[in-house]
Every structure is written in structure tokens, then in C-alpha cells.
Structure 1
């Protein structure tokens, strides 16, 4: 589909895929800026082409530095500008500028600090190659990567939290981690040749001994974190195209955005005017909902300071208040859509910080400004030779493309460095994985599953545990786990769960389990 459609009081702009089509659409609407628009398209196309062809060797980059203006003219031009400074220089119509940054939330919150390089690189990729979505959602990618790791003899552990990166003689030698739910359990030490810190860089100093902790703190002390996001997940009982939703990505412009300089204040302003993007996943055959239903997301810039000092009751109340404001605005643009909503849930910057440990809920790591762009971003192993960094906080930057590229580059660097010893043939045994002992119906509405009790689980009746099926037989439109109350007493040698029957794939998989089938049990909590 089209890249995006921007709705505002000044009308609607549909930004198509393809450089020629995009150029025509922009010039048709803003003919007075034809020269600037053509320069814009040429620049962002050049940024991607030149950015992808840069040498990886630091030595080579240093040697060719004097020739950069000749070899990489578009990168040099982009490196000198923020998005705002470039648009102000070459585009005269303020409406055109605002339309060109309609999707700014995908990379930052302020056109006057966002690097033109970071903006242009993925933007041109969308225009040239179109948008792509993993059927079934991004969890499918995570599941595939985890399965590949396990197939190669590795182990993927969830519900664990790293406490320390062990160092000695100038090298990383291992990691100490602890169970996230059972704090009373002893920590576990794993010795290894290399460590990849795929977490937020600001949390790493607390994991390191001196002098590395202080050294890293010094390197990051003046860095600026990116904004966060508020996302509202919507489940519809029908295809929303009938309400006028014609495009995948729909930008609802803020009422008070009259010029490019209004964008950042709008992102920090009242929710009744804050610009947001509504994504209709039915437009890309996402397979996130049954054929007769659909799913969408409202996404907008968010900041932790809007939420962090609220108590639990006030936090929930404010989330509901914001949800109703955004739903009212969505209804205003697409009349009738609100009555089709069966389910909605809001995540804030506080949610992101809680579940990802990213300080201030920063979704793009360090802000993607001129001072923190390109080679100024932290490279793989800048601190300790065998400690690699791969996340939105490191090189090349945030977003799916940046984070995935960072992981790939870290793997290439590890393979090149060859800091490997003979592999340990003894695999790590996760004691939370247990076999099914018995499956039986309690009544027509309830199924009981009885498992061997994990030796590391401090099970208490009424507490909740997460039951994750290892090999679910039915997976359509569902995840293979549920948080369930523990039905067994502490004295029992096994652990029991009562599964309420419904039409979900999880319940169907539970019904099809055989004795000996395995599950992993996380918890308890609550």
C-alpha cells in the first residue's frame, strides 16, 4: 500500500511508494516547491545508496575521509543538517514541510534535532522498497530466531535477569543471572568467551566492575535519550475500511501544527491536539485477527514525565482519559469506527520502561540527533574486546532496521575476532521445563493439567504462574502461554492448573496434550 496518508485541516496527502510517484504527488500539491522537492527525493535516495556502500573498516574510513565530499556527497550534505534545517533551507511552503515529517514519530519527536541522515535512510527505503510486515506479528520473528538458536545447541532463557558481567585480565569471562520471579533462588554463573549486551547501554555500568563501570559512565554521561511512545492497541469486530480507512498508515495531524516549528511543542502538548498515527493492519494481510475482524494501533509520542509520579489509581485513570480522547478523535476522522471496537489497551512510556528496562521508555535508544549519528554512535566492542553492544542504543541506531542491523554487525565482528574456545558439550538444563503427568476435565467449562513440579518453583495455591507450552499443536492467532492461578497446594508433589475453556488456540493445544508433553513454568507472582 501507500507509505502513508496525512489528514489535516489543509486536506489530505497520500504519499505513494516509488520515487517517481512520490515526486509527482508532492509536486502536484506543492508546485511552487518543485525544485526543492526534487532535491529532497534525490538526497534521501542518495543517502540510502551511499550509506549502504560505506566501508566497514575503520582504517579505510579514515583513509578516505578527505574524499568524502566526492565519494559520498549526499551523506556529507545530510550530516550537516537536521531535518528541520534542511527543509527550511530548500522548501518554502510550511504545509509541505509538515507533510514531509508526518511520520516523524517513527524516528523521533523534533525535526530540528533529528539527523537528516537518520531520517533519510529508512524513509528512502520505504519509498523505494515498500513496507513489509511479518505475518502473525513480530513475535513470529522472535520465535524463529529462538528456534534457530536452540537448533544449533543453544539455550534461550526467559524470566531471568542479568546481575553482573564478570571480567578479568581485560576480558569478559562470564555472566551472573538470577530468576526474575524467585528472588530467593541462588544466582547462576555462566562462563563464556563473548557477551552481547543487547540491553540499554545506560543499564550496563551497574553490571560491570571497575574500571569499566566508571569508564562507560563517563562515555555516556552527556548523551541524550530519545522520546518514548504511547500505543493504543485496538481490536475491531469488522474490517474498518467501511468507515473510510483507505490506507495502512494514517497520520492525524495536530490542530495546532501550522508550521514545522510547531511539531515538537505539539508532541508535548494536550492530548486533544497531539498528532498521532493510526495503523490498519488489515491493509497488509498481517494475520493478526480472524478474517471477519481486524486490528489497529494508535501511536503517538510520549514522555515518562507525564506518568512517573502518578499512583496506580491515578495512572489507570489517566490512561483511560487519554484513551477516550484519542478514540474520540479517531471517530471524528472515521465516522462509525468507534462502535466497532471490541477491545482496546494502552501502553505508555512507563509500560515500555517496565518491560524493556529502557531508561525513560526510550524506544530509539539515544536520540538520533546530529551529535549522536553515524560513526558517532557506539560501535560493537568499544569498551572491552569481547563485550559487544547490539541494540537501538548502539550503532547504527534505533528502529527495527537499525536494531537488527546492529545485531548482524555484532555477529560479523565476533566471527572476525574469533575469540572462541572449545564449546562446552554439556547443555544448560532449564529446570523449569517439566512433563505433563495428567490431563482431565473438571467439568464442561474447565480442564485440569497436572505437571511435575519444577524443583525451583515455590508454588503456592492462589499465586499465579505462567504456563508456556513447549510444542503447542494449535497456534493460529494466539500465543502458547497463559498466566494462571496455581490450583495445587504447596504440599502436593505436582503442580495443577485449571484452564477455563474457550475457543482459543491455547486451550485447543491444552486439550490435545499427551502425557509427557513438556511445558515451561515461570513464576510464581501475584
Structure 2
């Protein structure tokens, strides 16, 4: 519908928030999310997303429930075609193994992990067959920054700034895989001091430089090589930010780089994907629904409907919570 390539690039400026290829990305999924962003602006949970999690925990505890953090599920039990509980232990030490009985289990783990590692056959293989033709979304590399003074003090006025890469003249240039080096690929800088995020003390602020990346770009490295590459990439990303916001590098008082391997380590998502299944037309919104291979098993994460991202994961959880009322009624 649009012939002008500059217009296409502008409309697709936030492509990296969704996928790496504009020709694969579901238009309805992109349009709903991006349309809301344009129409309503940017919002952020004041105090950070942890504050939202803490509030949800308080609601659970006020209603007689309990939240036990730092534990990893190793097995979802099934009896007579219905889930009966889960075995879990401390995440890093694998000690204090416990089995909790339950009539319903909500899996926020990666769906391929549920199929391959948490469900015994035939249930695991049935789920694996259902998702076998689904593609996985790319990952991200992100440089997290603490500023003093803030980017706003340096003259920045935008919440999100696209730092365009070199040799990107058409929409098709954004679909190149693998992407160009970190010195020439498209970046996104987010300045949280532009919204009432309350993520840092007065006079300081938090920001992040993000780019689409891939797990295999960080494979085959020894630990020293991996750390040296992280340092180099961090320096390059900060240099490029400084080119569009002079003084930014001097204002950084702390920085940390997260790679696809970092995401994989902390979230156990295969290949460090940030969005679960790729948001293609047949893998978003209603098409992203997953049929559980056993009764009482539910999914609530970026892997399930409607799709990836912070909002997508929250909507998935809300949808699952509503569906649980039928299960609770069955056993009341």
C-alpha cells in the first residue's frame, strides 16, 4: 500500500520490538501493538516491573496462597490423563526437591521445554508434535546503563530513539540475516527517565541500548573470549549512542551487557529467544493457541496467545487465569 521506502522504514522503526524480518511479521499483531503505542504513548510500571510482581504476590498471599521463588520445575506429573502436581527444587543447587500436588499446573516455561523435559511420554511427545513446525523468534543483545547526569540533562527528549544502521535504505535491508556488525546495525535506545519509571535515585537514570541478535553469534567462544567480545560490543554500542547524544558515554556510571546466552541462562528459553515463537501470521493471536496434551495443564507466557512482549505475556496470564475458574469448580 506504500511505495516510499523512507515511510516504510519509519513505520517499521520498532520492528525489533517484535521480530527481525518485516516480511514474516504478522501485520494484525504488529498493527494492534504499534497502533496502541502511537495512539496512547509509552507507559511503564512505576518502580519497575518487579513492583507489579510484588503486588500480585501480595494478592495471592492475602487470599491464602503462597509464592516460593528461586525454584525450578523438573517434572509435571500426570495421573489418568490429568495433571496431578509438579516436582521442583532450588534453581541453582538442585537441592530441597519437593513435589507439590495440584489439580492445575500453569506452565510459564518455554513450551518446547515443557514438551521435551517436563512431561513424560506420551504427553510430552504429543505436545512436541503439535509445535514441531513452529519457528522460534530471534534473541536480543542489550546494554543496560546507569546515567549520572541523566540523558534528559544532556538534551535527550525522547523515550525511544532509533539509531539507524548504515546501508539501510529499504525495508528489505532490515531482513538481512545474519545482520551487519554491531557498528552498523540498527539499534534502539530507551531512556526511562522520560517516563515516571522511578527506577533510579534523583539525579540518576536507567537506559538501555538494544538490538536484534542470535544465539549462534555467541557460540564457540571460550569464557575469556566471550567476556572480551561482551566488552567490545558494549564499547561499540555506547560509542554509537554517544554519536547521537554527545556526552552520553561520559555520563555512564555503570553498564552491563546481556547477550542471547544471558537470556537463555536466566529464562531457560531455547536459543535465548526473547519472544517465544516467532510472530508470523500463523503463530500470533488466536493462531498461537496451544492445545494442552493433558487436562489441567495451562500455558501463560510469551510463548502462548496472543504473543511475545511484556503486554503479550500479561494478557496471556490474564486469559489463563479466567480459564482456570472451570478447573477450580470441578474440584471444589
State the TM bucket, normalised to the shorter chain: over 0.9
Q: Any gaps of 5 or more consecutive residues in structure 2? A: none
Map 1:316-465; keep pairs closer than 5 Å.
316-379=227-290, 382-418=292-328, 420-421=330-331
Map 1:239-388; keep pairs closer than 5 Å.
239-265=150-176, 268-379=179-290, 382-388=292-298
Q: 2:99 is matched with which residue?
A: 189
Aligned mates of 2:92, 2:328 — CA distance in 1: 36
Could you say what secondary structure the match of 2:266 adopts? Answer: helix
Q: 2:45 is matched with which residue?
A: 134
- 1:179-204 per-residue CA deviation (whole Å, 9 max, x = no partner) reads 2244354x211111100011110100
Could you say what secondary structure the match of 2:76 adopts? Answer: strand
- 1:161-217 per-residue CA deviation (whole Å, 9 max, x = no partner) reads 1111110111001111122244354x2111111000111101002111221011011
Q: 1:159 is matched with which residue?
A: 70
How many residues are treated as equivalent by the alignment?
331
Structure scoring higher RCO (CA < 8 A, sep ≥ 6) equals: 2
Could you say what secondary structure the match of 2:144 adopts? Answer: strand
Q: Residue 238 in 1 paired to residue 149 in 2?
A: yes
Aligned mates of 1:251, 1:266 — CA distance in 2: 19
Aligned mates of 1:240, 1:386 — CA distance in 2: 49
Deviation at 1:152?
Answer: 1.4
Q: Residue 203 in 1 paired to residue 126 in 2?
A: no
Aligned mates of 2:138, 2:128 — CA distance in 1: 21
Aligned mates of 1:242, 1:153 — CA distance in 2: 47
Of the three residues 229, 237, 241, the one matched with 2:140 is: 229
Aligned mates of 2:7, 2:38 — CA distance in 1: 17
CA contact (8 A) 1:115 1:370 kept: yes
CA contact (8 A) 1:390 1:403 kept: yes
Aligned mates of 1:360, 1:216 — CA distance in 2: 19
Report the aligned-residue RMSD: 1.5
Q: Any gaps of 5 or more consecutive residues in structure 1? A: 1-89, 423-526
Deviation at 1:419?
Answer: 5.0
CA contact (8 A) 1:193 1:420 kept: no
Question: Which of 1 and 2 has greater Rg?
Answer: 1
Deviation at 1:256?
Answer: 1.3
CA contact (8 A) 1:386 1:419 kept: no
Aligned mates of 1:101, 1:112 — CA distance in 2: 11
Q: Under a length normalisation based on structure 1, what TM-score does the superposition of the two structures give?
A: 0.61
Deviation at 1:242?
Answer: 3.9
Map 1:89-108; keep pairs closer than 5 Å.
90-108=1-19
Aligned mates of 1:190, 1:277 — CA distance in 2: 43
Aligned mates of 2:186, 2:227 — CA distance in 1: 22
CA contact (8 A) 1:257 1:266 kept: no
CA contact (8 A) 1:230 1:302 kept: yes
Q: 1:453 is matched with which residue?
A: none
Q: 1:481 is matched with which residue?
A: none
Aligned mates of 2:327, 2:201 — CA distance in 1: 48
Q: Under a length normalisation based on structure 2, what TM-score does the superposition of the two structures give?
A: 0.96
